[in-house]
Structure 1
């Protein structure tokens, strides 16, 4: 790398690798669960680099509008470059900077697990919904339903201990429909439903998967040094081999749970 080049930011890595490998497939599906249609105004909470917001924008068309909100400025910078026409806002789910009844749909994918006040965030999302509007929030299913990541978590624990492994397991901590519904009930949401939906992880290689996880600030980023990652990469080539195809691509199931609700008050 020359002096004029800089390493990609975690947000750029997220968009370039995690979105096609995991998250891109969910944008349209979560938008469909929220029944987003032409002309609507939609809010994407914890939008990241905008995979879901972009899918919502396709659905609302030229007469609708989409707002993507995230507390991470680097994520928002990538989102703005990808789709300048969408309104991108800095903010947290627990204190949405919008008036009551501002949106026809509120959606969020794979950020809810990290919210500090989950019932409070749900109350805020319902507050800014218009009567008749729909909420759709996607979270990772349990780790034991995602065999490739489950194998990697076991490897991390064997190599580096429980603390590192638990940091990697954190995104899967809400993979229980009853737990999601309990949070909705605590938020005062009536008639909520939580359904499992199938999904698939696809990386170009084991090397690509491990390198991408290394760059992820939400799991392994910053936890392991260069020497430890070399060990992880070497061991992963054996541990993850059962999840590769003949061409060396990594493919395994990673389902999600989608919490949905409609705002019924007038």
Structure 2
């Protein structure tokens, strides 16, 4: 079912975290909650940690799995994200903290999960080491990152358009979420972090926005990629050009959709 997204004029009055939750979660991230929970074998009665929980899409999915009798903590370093997350449910403990220095004792959790945050950590190796430290023996780790940009054709087309219109600085900012889209790189990170017998697998996902305008407007509002990089005139140029560039991904009724796979790191602690 096609979601109704907030027009850009209304987005300007909302925080980046609210835009993220209202736009990106239904378009990209909500679908991955069950996938990560399956990969980490999350089940009733468990204690689960969601690292870089954002506004809580994965955290809420995990909370549904651990009931009854389980507990989930969502941790994020962004107070605005946690403000939005806390509006969702009082049954989850939301904590302010950095992935590189988790404020928990060793071997506390049955499962540690994280989706689409590792790419943005200051020290990725330290973050993975910390996730492994707080995982109990017999517990399961599952971490998702964006696959390589060239495997996501709609975003690859948009990156190419940004390169032609505005040059490498803007295009490279947009490419940032895809920098870990390489299996060998992830396995090396896991090895350096002391994660034993880690595996990396690819899972297919879909990006779906109500229109090309909604996709481009949401990306412009995202502080982690294009936020603050384009003035109004540049945005109008981008919007007009994107109508042509992204037309191959438009469906009946104007919806725009394309594949965006993820790479999943999984490991079981002996």
Residues in 1 aligned to 2:90 and 2:146: alpha-carbon distance in whole angstroms: 29
Matched residue of 1:101: which SS? Answer: coil
Q: Are residue 134 (structure 1) and residue 134 (structure 2) matched? A: no
Aligned with 1:119 (options 119, 125, 129): 125
Q: Give 1:6 shift.
A: 7.4
Aligned to 2:96: 90
* SS in structure 2 at match of 1:43: strand
CA distance in 2, matches of 1:145, 1:257: 11
SS of residue paired to 2:257: strand
- TM-score of the superposed pair, with normalisation by structure 2: 0.95
1:84 CA drift (Å)? 2.1
- Structure 1 gaps of 5+ residues are none
Instruction: State how far apart, in whole Å, the 2-side matches of 1:233 and 1:256 are.
Output: 27
| Residue among 196, 199, 202 paired with 1:190 | 196
* 2:175 is equivalent to residue 166 of structure 1: no
Structure 2: distance between partners of 1:136 and 1:62:
22
Runs of 4+ aligned residues of structure 1 deviating over 3 Å after TM superposition are: none
Match 1:66 to one of 64, 72, 76: 72
1:48-69 deviation per Cα after TM superposition (whole angstroms, max 9, x unaligned): 0000000100100030000000
1:222 aligned onto 2:228? yes
**1:197: how far off?**
0.1
- CA distance in structure 2 between the partners assigned to 1:232 and 1:100 by the alignment: 48
| Change in CA separation of 1:17 and 1:6 when aligned onto 2, cut-off 3 Å | closer
Unaligned 5+ runs, structure 2: 1-10
* Superposition deviation, residue 263 in structure 1: 1.1
Match of 2:7 in 1: none
Q: Could you tell me how far apart the structure 2 residues matched to 1:148 and 1:122 are? A: 30
| TM, length-normalised to structure 1 | 0.96
Aligned residues: 260
